[in-house]
Amino acid sequence: MLDFIYYPVSFIMWCWHWVFGHVFGESSAIAWALSIVFLVFTLRAIMFKPTVKQVRSMRKMQEFAPEIKKLQKKYANDRQKQAQEMQKLQAEHGVSPLGGCLPMLLQIPVFIGLFHVLREFKPGKTENYFFSERGVSSYIEADLFGARLSNWITQPAEELAKFHVDRITVALVAIPLMLLASALTHLTARHSVSRQNPDAATTQTAMMNKLTLYVFPLGVLIGGFFFPIGLIMYWLSNNGWTLWQQRFVYKKIDAEEAAKKVVAQEKRAAAAPKPGQKPTQPKKRPVTAKPEDASTEPEPSGTPETTPEAKPAQPAGGDKGGTQIPGLISDRSRSKKSGRKNR
């Protein structure tokens, strides 16, 4: 049913076993263990670019996290409207939540395919997808400190007897690998959580952080009792790659952001006035009076009382009476007349 997953996974593993089999021997446990490890490295290298996009998407979402909180508070009673506004906000910032989950989703079919392929290495099998009968017998004969890569701790006793191993030997090999894989899972989650923006913290984020920090590593530890040793090696190598990749990608992104800040500072410094230089102010244009509308000017009535007359010319002798306005007598002229009468 899932042959489209099983065949590619078994083919990549077959290629790496062919390479390391020529170095360490066809039935060597080291050759088979390295073929599983490099199967993981090959698949993770293929997904490297999507993973970088995932990290960039997460960083962008942390930048506008306060805006998301505002939307959640504003549309707390309207989930549909909240979802629409969230989609608009993500589209404006060029962020896709699906793009951030893509690398994780792609690892699920790989895990399922490898889990099935490793469990199909059984005594009496004549083929296992890309592996022939010779390849199957070579995998079964591979001895890793007394255990086989197809064994797991809770495997039925009759099946263990077919491999000529006992449960204690399998546990002594599997448990250290389980503890190391669980520890790497916790360290990977801790490194990812430490890079989060505190302003972006929500109730859902805190819950997911607890899951990744404690529940997932515990799941790897408990799952090791039911997974073949070869699959535990998959978890170990996968988490080791993830931890290295996170450090590398975050360091690269931090360097890019630091370079952008330096360029922005240089631009501001170039635009700023030099020390001692007088700031140049732009010349102000003279304000031109707008012509008044002719329709707003008052029309003369034509009566002598309201029509202003021209100012009379001042006599050559210099009249000290000041300006005369028709119809009115100045105070100075009145005082002169009253003085004459008194005489």
Interval 232-251: pLDDT, tens:
999 899 889 988 888 888 88
Q: Inform me whether the pLDDT recorded for 297 exceeds 80.
A: no
Cα–Cα dist 233/215, whole Å: 20
Q: Tell me what the mean pLDDT of segment 263-274 comes to.
A: 78
Average pLDDT over residues 85-97: 69
Q: How confident is the model at residue 263 (pLDDT cuts 50, 70, 90)?
A: confident
Looking at mean pLDDT, say which of 32-36, 282-286, 320-324 comes out highest. 32-36
pLDDT score for 280? 62
Predicted confidence at residue 184, as pLDDT, reads 92
Q: Of 70-74, 116-120, 238-242, which range is least confident?
A: 70-74
Instruction: Return the pLDDT at 281.
Output: 61
54: confidence class by pLDDT, cuts 50, 70, 90: confident
Which residues have CB under 8 Å from 161's CB, separation 6+? none
Do 127 and 146 touch, CB atoms closer than 8 A? no
Residue 319 has pLDDT above 80, yes or no: no
Spatial separation of the C-alpha atoms in residues 246 and 194, rounded to whole Å: 12
pTM: 0.68
Question: For 118-146, what is the mean pLDDT?
Answer: 89
Are 151 and 170 spatial neighbours (Cβ–Cβ below 8 Å)?
Answer: yes
pLDDT band at 170 (very low <50, low <70, confident <90, very high): very high
Q: Which residue, among 119, 156, 159, 157, has the nearest Cα to 139 in the 3D structure? A: 119
Tokens for 171, please give them.
């546990």
- Position 278: which residue type? K
Q: Compute the 3-state secondary structure of the chain and give helix, strand, coil in percent, each to the nearest 5.
A: 65, 0, 30
Average pLDDT, the chain: 77
